[in-house]
């Protein structure tokens, strides 16, 4: 084992000295390679942390939401549906929710208005999301005025600015009292936007949803796991879009790297002949070339990944945030929590380090298996 490791050290020594001989060319390659890994890893890390964040935020969301449908559209749900649902086994709690959207022409942005179940503000007051406060320049005690659908003016006093921890979801959120919500949107008492159900046992969620479909045929149950899946698909789609945009540069790099890695110059062929003539065997030459590919690609992978980690988690993904987060006007200030997915690292490693290393080793095979007597000519 000691002999094997020492031999690898000698081969690495030679490889490093060999790479240093073409310093400019190899540094250029390393730079481009690192940039590619950086871009790919940034997109992957950011999308992954968005998914992770979304899943963390949804932990406290109700397991099932029941929405009433009318002609295929979401309709307000009467309070008596709570009684109609009755006592479904496994449901720990159920309650009506009030929420809706409001377009603010002043900043040309959509807000989400909601009545919280607990700690609702008193009538005439509002709790606002960070992005709204930022965009409208609001502080505690300031007033926020809107025109309702009936054309009346409403002024709400800001009683709280929501914590920036959950800004990704609460950026555009306005929390108001139930009375204010109903008056503002003109929703009669006894009607809710939807009904939320909490199910104690996660394994029973699907069964509960099935029972609801039978019990209330004009409703649709929405499961939390479905919302998570939708988030997942949405972020995966956005990630895909960025990857497609990167595809051109990726392809250019692949061609460049393949040419660099697989094309053996006459000088390199001569060197292989010399090494074989002075006592290196085919395996030694292939291992040396393996180290050359591995050192370049592994170096680029580590540098690129570390740079991407810094970009996402210390500089808040400055390059990709607008595309990947997808907010039109109210950009949430999102500070992703450091999170690394092992499978994702392995995937990126496999698609960046592996092909380059193979591209360096394969052509060397042919050169290294020929007789070394060419150096005598």
Asked if residues 235 and 50 have their Cβ atoms less than 8 Å apart, the reply is: yes
**Cβ 52 to another protein shortest distance, Å:** 46
State the Cα angle at 78 between 181 and 205, rounded to 5°: 100
Is residue 276 involved in binding another protein (CB under 8 A)?
yes
Closest by Cα among 364, 362, 257 to 25: 257
Question: Site residues for another protein, window 144-163 (CB under 8 A)?
Answer: none
**Cβ 278 to another protein shortest distance, Å:** 4
**Cβ 281 to another protein shortest distance, Å:** 4
**Cβ 370 to another protein shortest distance, Å:** 10
| DSSP-derived 3-state class of residue 92 | strand
Strands 125-128 and 153-161, bridge-based pairing: parallel
Question: Site residues for another protein, window 281-320 (CB under 8 A)?
Answer: 281-284
**Cβ 358 to another protein shortest distance, Å:** 23
Asked if residues 292 and 19 have their Cβ atoms less than 8 Å apart, the reply is: yes
| Long-range contacts from 369-375, C-beta under 8 angstroms, 24+ separation | 369/282, 372/273, 372/274, 372/276, 372/277, 373/277, 374/269, 374/270, 374/273, 375/270, 375/273, 375/274, 375/276, 375/277
**Cβ 274 to another protein shortest distance, Å:** 5
Q: What is the dihedral of CA 261, 263, 265, 266, to 10 degrees?
A: 140
Q: Considering only residues 214, 266, 278, 343, which one is a binding residue for another protein as defined by CB under 8 A?
A: 278
Q: What is the DSSP string of 7-58?
A: HHHHHHHHHHHHHHHTHHHHHHHHHHHHHHHHHHHHHHHHHHHHHHHHHHHH
Is residue 248 involved in binding another protein (CB under 8 A)?
no
What number of chain residues touch another protein (CB under 8 A)? 34
Is residue 7 involved in binding another protein (CB under 8 A)?
yes
Q: Considering only residues 27, 92, 255, 274, which one is a binding residue for another protein as defined by CB under 8 A?
A: 274
> Whose Cβ is closer to another protein: residue 81's or residue 280's?
280
Distances (CA, A) of 88 to 83, 218, 223, 266, 341: 11, 17, 16, 79, 38
Is residue 275 involved in binding another protein (CB under 8 A)?
yes
**Cβ 5 to another protein shortest distance, Å:** 9
Q: Considering only residues 271, 298, 341, 349, which one is a binding residue for another protein as defined by CB under 8 A?
A: 271
Using CA atoms, how far apart are residues 148 and 102, in angstroms rounded to an integer? Answer: 9
**Cβ 300 to another protein shortest distance, Å:** 22
Strands 77-78 and 191-192, bridge-based pairing: antiparallel
- Taking residue 242's Cβ as centre, other Cβ atoms within 10 Å add up to 20
Is residue 1 involved in binding another protein (CB under 8 A)?
no
Q: Considering only residues 10, 314, 350, 354, which one is a binding residue for another protein as defined by CB under 8 A?
A: 10
Is residue 14 involved in binding another protein (CB under 8 A)?
yes
> Whose Cβ is closer to another protein: residue 18's or residue 159's?
18
Q: Considering only residues 21, 73, 87, 119, which one is a binding residue for another protein as defined by CB under 8 A?
A: 21
Give the per-residue contact string, 358-377, with another protein (x = CB under 8 A; - = no): -----------x-xxx-xxx
Task: Write out the residues near another protein by the rule CB under 8 A.
Answer: 3-4, 6-7, 9-11, 13-14, 17-18, 20-21, 267, 270-271, 274-284, 369, 371-373, 375-377
């Amino acid at each position: 084992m000691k002999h094997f490791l020492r031999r690898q050290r000698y081969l690495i020594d030679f490889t490093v000295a060999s790479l240093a001989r073409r310093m400019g060319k190899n540094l250029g390659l390393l730079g481009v390679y690192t940039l590619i890994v950086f871009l790919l890893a940034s997109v992957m890390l950011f999308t992954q942390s968005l998914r992770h964040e979304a899943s963390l935020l949804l932990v406290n969301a109700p397991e099932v939401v029941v929405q009433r449908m009318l002609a295929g559209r979401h309709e307000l749900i009467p309070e008596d549906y709570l009684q109609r649902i009755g006592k479904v086994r496994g449901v720990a709690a159920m309650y009506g929710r009030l929420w809706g959207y409001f377009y603010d022409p002043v900043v040309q942005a959509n807000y989400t208005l909601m009545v919280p179940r607990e700690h609702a503000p008193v009538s005439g007051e509002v709790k606002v999301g960070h992005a709204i406060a930022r965009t409208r320049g609001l502080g505690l005690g300031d007033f926020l005025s809107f025109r309702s659908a009936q054309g009346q003016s409403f002024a709400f006093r800001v009683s709280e600015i929501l914590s920036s921890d959950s800004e990704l979801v609460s950026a555009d959120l306005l929390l108001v009292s139930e009375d204010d919500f109903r008056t503002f949107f003109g929703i009669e008492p006894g009607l809710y936007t939807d009904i939320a159900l909490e199910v104690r046992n996660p394994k029973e969620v699907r069964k509960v949803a099935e029972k609801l479909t039978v019990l209330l045929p004009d409703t649709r149950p929405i499961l939390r796991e479905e919302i998570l899946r939708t988030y997942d698909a949405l972020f995966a789609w956005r990630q895909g879009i960025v990857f497609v945009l990167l595809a051109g540069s990726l392809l250019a790099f692949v061609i460049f790297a393949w040419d660099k890695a697989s094309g053996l110059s006459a000088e390199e062929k001569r060197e292989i002949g010399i090494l074989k003539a002075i006592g290196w065997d085919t395996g030694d030459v292939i291992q040396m070339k393996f180290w050359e590919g591995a050192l370049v690609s592994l170096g680029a992978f580590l540098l690129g990944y570390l740079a991407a980690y810094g970009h996402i988690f210390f500089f808040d993904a400055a390059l990709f945030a607008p595309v990947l987060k997808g907010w039109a006007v109210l950009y949430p200030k999102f500070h992703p929590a450091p999170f690394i997915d092992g499978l994702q690292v392995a995937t990126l490693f496999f698609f960046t380090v592996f092909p380059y290393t193979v591209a360096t080793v394969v052509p060397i095979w042919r050169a290294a298996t020929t007789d070394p007597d060419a150096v005598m000519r």
